[in-house]
């Protein structure tokens, strides 16, 4: 995939199976006046990345797990909305799973990962 994607220096762009960046908008408060009009109090916009990877060896899966186990990681990624590369602190939102897939002809076990979600701090 022709994007930049690394977690704490671990380059994963060539291992991406799926890659999605969304802008999550939140508001401090939304006030409804008596005429039924809603007035949002300015909030913030933060990115979330949902990705999955091609099957990984046990060593690759362990390396990724060790990075994600830090809970807050530095992520360098391509933002498709602007076409720029950003570096943000993000946290893991959800589970980190690796399911045994097969034992390859090279003798290494391969694992499939589920989707992983990272959210900007």
Long-range contacts of 10-16 (CB under 8 A, 24+ apart): 10/63, 10/64, 10/67, 12/51, 12/53, 12/64, 15/53, 15/54, 15/56, 15/60, 16/51, 16/52, 16/53, 16/54
| Predicted confidence (pLDDT) per residue in 44-102, tens digit | 999 999 999 999 988 999 999 999 999 899 999 999 999 999 999 999 998 887 677 77
* 78's tokens: 């391509």
Average pLDDT over residues 99-115: 83
Of 33-37, 39-43, 63-67, minimum mean pLDDT range: 39-43
- Bridge-partner residues for 65, per DSSP? none
Instruction: Look up the pTM and report it.
Output: 0.86
* 97's tokens: 């799973």
Comparing CA positions, the residue from 96, 97, 94, 98 lying closest to residue 119 is: 94
Residue 40 has pLDDT above 80, yes or no: yes
| Residue 67 pLDDT | 96
| Residue 96 pLDDT | 80
- What percent of the chain is helix, strand and coil (3-state, nearest 5)? 10, 55, 30
Question: What is the DSSP secondary-structure string of 87-102?
Answer: EEEEEE-S---EEEEE
* 91's tokens: 């946290």
């Amino acid at each position: 995939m022709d994007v930049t994607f690394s977690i704490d220096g671990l380059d994963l762009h060539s291992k991406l199976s799926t890659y999605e960046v969304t802008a999550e908008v939140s508001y401090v408060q939304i006030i409804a006046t008596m005429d039924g009009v809603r007035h949002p109090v300015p909030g913030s916009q933060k990115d979330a990345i949902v990705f999955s990877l091609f099957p990984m060896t046990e060593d690759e899966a362990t390396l990724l797990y060790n990075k994600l186990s830090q809970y807050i990681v530095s992520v360098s990624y391509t933002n498709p909305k602007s076409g720029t590369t950003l570096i943000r602190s993000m946290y893991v939102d959800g589970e980190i799973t690796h399911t045994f897939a097969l034992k390859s002809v090279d003798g290494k076990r391969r694992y499939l990962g589920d989707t992983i979600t990272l959210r900007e701090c």
